[in-house]
Amino acid sequence: MNKNDNRSVSKLLPVLFGFFVMGFCDVVGISTSYVQKDFALNETLAGFIPSMVFIWFLLLSIPAALVMNRIGRKKMVQASNLVTVAGMLIPFIDYNLVTCMAAFALLGIGNTLLQVSLNPLLTNVVRPETLTSSLTAGQVVKAVSSFCGPFIAAFAAGELGDWQYLFPIYAAITLLSALWLLCTPIRESRETQPASSVGAAFSLLKDRTVLILFLGIVFVVGVDVGMNTVAPKLLIERSGYAVEQAGIGSSVYFVCRTVGALLGSLLLVRMSDVRYFRIHIFAAIAAMIALWFTHATAGMLVLVGLIGFACSSIFSVIYSAALKSHPDKANEISGLMITGVCGGAVIPPLMGASADFAGSQIGSLVVIGCCMAYLAVCALLLRRFETGK
């Protein structure tokens, strides 16, 4: 293979490793519990901690895409790494509530920059026909990182004496990722018609296909965050689990999501993206309907796992379809799609309000079910992206 060819394993691996850093944002779940305990926060104040991470996807995704047009994708990834390292070191140097909130804000900013830039950078090191499976492979790495987060925190607390050692561990991993990418030359494709403003980027939503896919990202992220939130609550409500025990619901979801993403990366090489999407979203809907009526603990865990498995690669399919719809606008499309990650901050409050109205978690499940219903419609509308596999 020509040494200047981007499509080599030596160039792909450091990009995929970046997805491990991308998974760090999910550590905010377990970190919230530690911070709430350390500073005796009530539930309302503790609820702002995840917001400090996810709000930046709404505020910075498009501006980051515009800046990326000027400096390039690889440089934007490196900027995200620097922001993340800084954020992870601040609370370790001086641990208080203000520094913790600053750390989570910088983690969110860094993660926003990373998600905007790393996905399109991946398009420069893989063939177009393997883009969806490669994006799914990246999601596998991200899922492994998300799954490892609580264990790294537990290791820091148990073996190192304090959970705060999580921060320098994450800083070191991020620095390693930055150095690896720095040593890897990658030739980037440039936008042929770069957008000149945030308004110009959002004008892409006038395209019906882009709008449908953008809302698909909003709702698939809403399903993901919603299931992580509701799984423990179902075990508490229906099985009488204590809060400490109910965490198994989220663990089952993460494990099945990781396995699903791994298998999805293999299936999507052989199967049409749209066919995969349709089969898996309807399987998820069937599992959700069954979950509405199931009260047995084992049954609930199986259904939660099935939903995690079925929905694991849908984000990659939607994101890939969006990039393919406007390959000359990959940076702006990436910014728009990552803006949709703010669905993780929008759907949970709706679930809470619905649960209060219904008097049980069935209200939350109805909201997630509505998100899945939209995704089913989205899958049926994507016939134009059939690749004939």
One-letter amino acid identity for 340?
G
DSSP 212-280: HHHHHHHHHHHHHHHHHHHHHHHHHHHH---HHHHTHHHHHHHHHHHHHHHHHHHHHHHS-HHHHHHHH
Cα separation of 205 and 254, whole Å?
Answer: 32
pLDDT score at 18: 93
**Tens-binned pLDDT, residue by residue, of the chain (389 aa):** 444 455 677 888 999 999 999 988 877 766 766 777 788 876 456 656 777 887 888 888 888 888 888 888 899 999 999 999 999 999 888 889 899 999 999 999 999 999 888 988 888 888 877 777 787 788 788 878 877 877 787 788 788 888 889 899 999 999 999 999 999 888 876 655 555 566 767 788 888 889 999 999 999 998 988 887 788 888 888 998 875 577 678 778 888 988 888 888 788 878 888 899 999 999 999 999 999 999 999 999 999 999 999 998 898 889 888 888 887 777 778 778 888 888 877 887 788 788 888 888 899 899 999 999 999 999 998 865 444 44
Q: Which residues contact 321 (CB under 8 A, 6 or more apart)?
A: 213, 273, 382, 385
| Predicted local confidence at residue 6, as pLDDT | 59
Residue 195 region by backbone torsions, left for phi larger than 0, else alpha for psi between -120 and 50, else beta: beta
How far apart CA 351 and CA 150 sit, in angstroms, is 24
pLDDT of residue 1: 40
Contact 189, 329 (CB under 8 A): no
The Cα 23–Cα 18 span in angstroms is: 9
Inter-residue contact 189 to 123 (CB < 8 Å): yes
CA distances from 138 to 51, 116, 141 (A): 24, 14, 5
The pLDDT of residue 144 = 83
Angle at Cα 123 formed by Cα 122 and Cα 124, nearest 5°?
Answer: 90
DSSP annotation string for 211-230:
HHHHHHHHHHHHHHHHHHHH
Instruction: Report helix, strand or coil for 342.
Output: helix
Using DSSP's 3-state secondary structure scheme, residue 291 falls into: helix
- Strand, helix or coil for residue 33: helix
Query: Which of 340, 375, 57, 39 has its CA nearest to residue 214?
Result: 340
Give me the pLDDT at residue 389, please.
40
Report the C-alpha gap between 350 and 200 in whole angstroms: 30
Amino acid at 243: V
Write down all domains in the chain, each with its CATH number in brackets: 10-184 (1.20.1250.20), 196-389 (1.20.1250.20)
Q: Please state, in angstroms and rounded to a whole number, the distance separating the CA atoms of residues 329 and 190.
A: 9
Look up residue 47 and give its amino acid. Answer: G
This prediction has a pTM of 0.74
CA-based R_g, the chain, Å: 20
d(CA 18, CA 263): 20
Q: Give the total residue count for the chain.
A: 389
Contact in structure between 304 and 249 (CB atoms under 8 Å): yes
Do 9 and 31 meet the contact criterion of CB atoms below 8 Å apart?
A: no
Residue 132 neighbours by CB under 8 Å, 6+ apart: 268, 273, 316, 317, 320
The reported pLDDT for the residue numbered 2 is 44
